[in-house]
C-alpha cells in the first residue's frame, strides 16, 4: 500500500494547495468539508485567491519547457506508472470519494475505474501524436504536420465525480506535453490531492501538475490569467456558458460541458422488467447526481406506462438507502444540505404543477445518520414538458414519467428539450432502434443501454446547451483539444541550382 509522510498526508484534515510538487498554504479563506452521511465537519479546505492561482500558473509555465521537450515515450512511461499507482491505491482513493461525496463504495470504484481507462488511453500518446508526412508535394519539397502542446492547461471540475472527471482532463493534457492547473470542487477535493502525490511518485516533474482549491474567485482568476492557454470545464449549464464566453473572450481554447436532462424512451415491445431495472440504476445511482443520469422516462402507450411504473415501484420498494460506506447501501446521501434543500424544493414545485408523486422519499430517515443529507427515491407520473421539473436539471433521485402515443412523438419531446447530453431507447425492434439512433438530436445515444458513457477510446460530449465548444472530453477530441497542429513545408534545392524570383502564387 502506498504510504506518505504524516506531513504530506492527504486524508481529509486540512487541505491547502498543491503547487510545485508540494502542499502549500496560501489562503486565509477556508471552507468546511462535510461527511454528507452525518453532516459532521471532517476537514477544512483553503479557498485560493487570485494571487495563489497566479502562483500556480507561473510554476506550471516555468515547468512547461522541460516537460514539453520530454519525449512522448517517456511521458507515456509516467502515465503507465500513474495507472499502476492508482490501481495499487484504489481502496484509499475510493474511501476518500465516499467520505466526502457520499456515494457508495461500489459506485466510487466504478468511477475510479472509468478514470483509469482514460489514463490507459493516455499511455498510447506516442501513437496518438503521430502526424502526417507527404514526400514530394512539389519538386524537392516535402510537407508534414505535427501536434504541439499548448502550454498551461486548466481544468475546473464538479463535485459529483471527484476522481473521474479530473482524469478526463489532466492525463491526456499532460501526455500531450502541457502542464496543468486543476481547480477541483471545494466540496470533495481530497481524491484529486491524493492523485497529485501519485503523479509525483510516477516521475512527473515538480510543477507540471498543480491544484488550487477554491470557489468562483479561483475560477475567474484562471479565466483571466493570460498564461492559461486552454480551459476544460464540467458543471451546470449557466456556469459552463460563463466559462466559455469569458474564456474565449480572453483568447483561450475552451471546452465547457454543461447540464443535462437525459431521456429514456420505453417502447411497447421492450422487456419492461429489464428496462425498469436498468432505469432504476441509471436514475437513482449516485443519488441521481450524474450528468448522464436518466431523469425522464417517456413511455410510449398507456399500457407501457402502467407496466413500467409498476415495475419501478416494486424495485424502489427494495432500494436500500444508507451511508455510502455501508456494504448494503444502493444509494447514499446528497452532497450537502444546500443541495438537499434544492432538490426538495423541486419536488414541491412538481406537486404544485400538477404532477403525481407516486413514490415520495421526502420522509426517509436513515437510522444512525439522522442528520445526514438523505432523500429517498422520488417518482413523478403525468409530467408534461411545460413543467419546471421537466425543463430544469434537478440533479437528485427524482425520475419523471412522461407519456406519449408514438415513437415519433416521444422523439419530438426529446429533441425539443434545450439539453442534448444523453438519451436511450428500450426496444426489441431493430428498425425502431436504428431510426432513433440516426435521427435523435442528442450527442450520446444508448440502445438498451441507459448510461451510454463512451469508452475512453471515444469522446464524451453532448449537443445543444450541454456542450459549449467544438471538441468533446477525453478520447481523440481531447488529443486535438490539448495540441495545436503545425504544418511544415521543407525544401532543399539541389546543389548549384539557382532560380529566378517567381511572383505568381506557388502551386
Question: Could you tell me the three cell numbers for 26?
Answer: 496560501
Round to whole Å and give the CA distance between 208 and 230: 15
Residue 291 known to be catalytic: yes
Cross-strand pairs, 136: none
The three cell numbers of residue 197 are: 502525490
State how far the Cα of 326 lies from the Cα of 454, in Å rounded to an integer. 29
Burial class (CB in 10 A: 0-12, 13-18, 19+), 231: buried
HSE of 73, CA atoms in CB hemisphere, 13 A: 0
Q: Of the residues 123, 195, 287, 291, which is catalytic?
A: 291
Beta bridge partner(s), residue 321: 331
Handedness of CA 153, 154, 160, 161 (dihedral sign): positive
Please, are residues 397 and 283 in contact by the beta-carbon 8 Å criterion?
yes
Please, how many CA atoms are within 13 Å of residue 338, restricted to the half-sphere of its CB? 2
Enter the C-alpha cell of residue 146. 505535427
For the chain, first and last CA: distance in Å?
63
- Distance of alpha carbon 325 from alpha carbon 42, whole angstroms: 15
Cβ distance 284 to 389 under 8 Å?
no
| Beta strand 253-257 pairing with 228-234 | parallel
- The Cβ of residue 246 has, within 10 Å, a number of other Cβ atoms equal to 18
Are residues 292 and 260 in contact, defined by beta-carbon separation less than 8 angstroms? yes
Alpha-carbon distance 426 to 433, whole Å? 8
Q: What residues does 31 pair with on adjacent strands? A: 45
- The two beta strands, 17-19 and 22-24, are antiparallel
CB 401 within 8 A of CB 382: yes
Whose cell is 460563463? That residue is 242
Cβ–Cβ under 8 Å, residues 11 and 96:
yes
User: How many helices and strands in the chain, by DSSP H and E?
Assistant: 17, 23
Longest Cα–Cα distance of the chain, Å, equals: 91
Please identify every residue annotated as catalytic. 291
Amino acid at each position: 500500500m502506498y504510504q506518505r509522510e504524516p506531513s504530506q498526508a492527504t486524508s481529509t484534515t486540512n487541505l491547502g494547495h498543491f503547487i510545485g510538487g508540494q502542499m502549500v498554504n496560501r489562503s486565509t479563506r477556508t471552507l468546511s468539508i462535510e461527511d454528507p452521511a452525518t453532516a459532521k465537519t471532517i476537514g477544512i479546505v483553503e479557498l485560493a485567491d487570485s494571487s495563489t492561482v497566479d502562483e500556480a500558473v507561473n510554476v506550471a509555465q516555468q515547468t512547461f519547457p522541460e516537460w514539453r521537450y520530454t519525449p512522448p515515450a517517456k511521458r507515456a512511461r509516467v502515465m503507465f506508472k500513474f495507472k499502476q499507482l492508482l490501481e495499487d491505491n484504489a481502496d484509499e482513493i475510493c474511501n476518500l470519494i465516499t467520505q466526502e461525496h457520499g456515494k457508495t463504495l461500489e459506485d466510487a470504484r466504478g468511477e475510479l475505474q472509468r478514470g483509469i481507462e482514460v489514463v490507459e488511453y493516455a499511455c498510447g500518446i506516442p501513437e496518438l501524436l503521430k502526424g502526417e508526412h507527404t514526400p514530394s508535394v512539389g519538386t524537392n519539397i516535402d510537407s508534414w504536420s505535427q501536434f504541439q502542446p499548448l502550454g498551461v492547461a486548466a481544468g475546473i471540475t464538479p463535485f459529483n465525480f471527484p476522481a473521474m472527471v479530473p482524469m478526463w482532463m489532466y492525463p491526456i493534457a499532460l501526455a500531450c506535453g502541457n502542464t496543468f492547473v486543476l481547480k477541483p470542487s471545494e466540496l470533495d477535493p481530497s481524491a484529486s490531492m491524493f492523485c497529485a502525490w501519485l503523479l509525483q511518485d510516477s516521475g512527473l516533474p515538480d510543477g507540471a501538475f498543480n491544484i488550487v482549491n477554491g470557489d468562483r474567485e479561483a475560477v475567474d482568476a484562471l479565466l483571466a490569467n493570460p498564461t492559461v492557454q486552454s480551459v476544460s470545464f464540467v458543471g451546470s449549464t449557466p456556469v459552463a456558458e460563463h466559462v466559455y464566453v469569458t474564456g474565449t473572450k480572453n483568447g483561450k481554447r475552451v471546452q465547457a460541458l454543461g447540464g443535462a436532462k437525459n431521456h429514456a424512451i420505453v417502447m411497447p415491445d421492450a422487456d419492461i422488467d429489464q428496462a425498469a431495472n436498468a432505469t432504476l440504476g441509471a436514475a437513482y445511482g449516485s443519488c441521481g447526481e450524474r450528468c448522464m443520469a436518466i431523469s425522464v422516462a417517456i413511455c410510449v402507450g398507456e399500457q407501457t406506462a402502467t407496466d413500467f411504473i409498476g415495475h419501478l415501484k416494486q424495485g424502489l420498494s427494495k432500494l436500500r438507502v444508507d451511508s455510502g460506506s455501508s456494504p448494503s447501501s444502493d444509494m447514499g446521501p446528497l452532497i450537502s444540505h444546500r443541495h438537499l434543500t434544492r432538490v426538495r424544493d423541486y419536488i414541491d414545485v412538481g406537486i404544485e404543477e400538477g404532477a403525481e408523486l407516486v413514490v415520495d422519499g421526502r420522509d426517509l430517515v436513515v437510522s444512525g445518520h439522522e442528520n445526514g443529507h438523505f432523500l429517498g427515491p422520488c417518482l413523478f407520473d403525468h409530467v408534461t414538458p411545460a413543467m419546471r421539473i421537466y425543463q430544469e436539471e434537478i440533479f437528485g433521485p427524482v425520475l419523471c414519467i412522461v407519456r406519449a402515443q408514438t415513437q415519433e412523438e416521444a422523439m419530438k419531446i426529446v429533441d425539443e428539450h434545450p439539453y442534448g447530453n444523453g438519451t436511450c431507447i428500450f426496444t426489441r425492434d431493430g428498425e425502431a432502434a436504428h431510426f432513433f439512433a440516426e435521427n435523435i438530436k442528442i450527442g450520446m445515444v444508448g440502445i438498451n443501454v441507459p448510461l451510454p458513457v463512451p469508452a475512453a477510446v471515444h469522446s464524451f460530449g453532448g449537443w445543444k446547451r450541454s456542450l459549449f465548444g467544438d471538441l468533446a472530453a477525453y478520447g481523440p477530441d481531447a488529443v486535438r483539444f490539448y495540441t495545436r497542429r503545425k504544418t511544415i513545408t521543407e525544401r532543399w534545392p539541389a546543389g548549384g541550382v539557382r532560380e529566378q524570383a517567381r511572383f505568381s502564387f506557388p502551386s
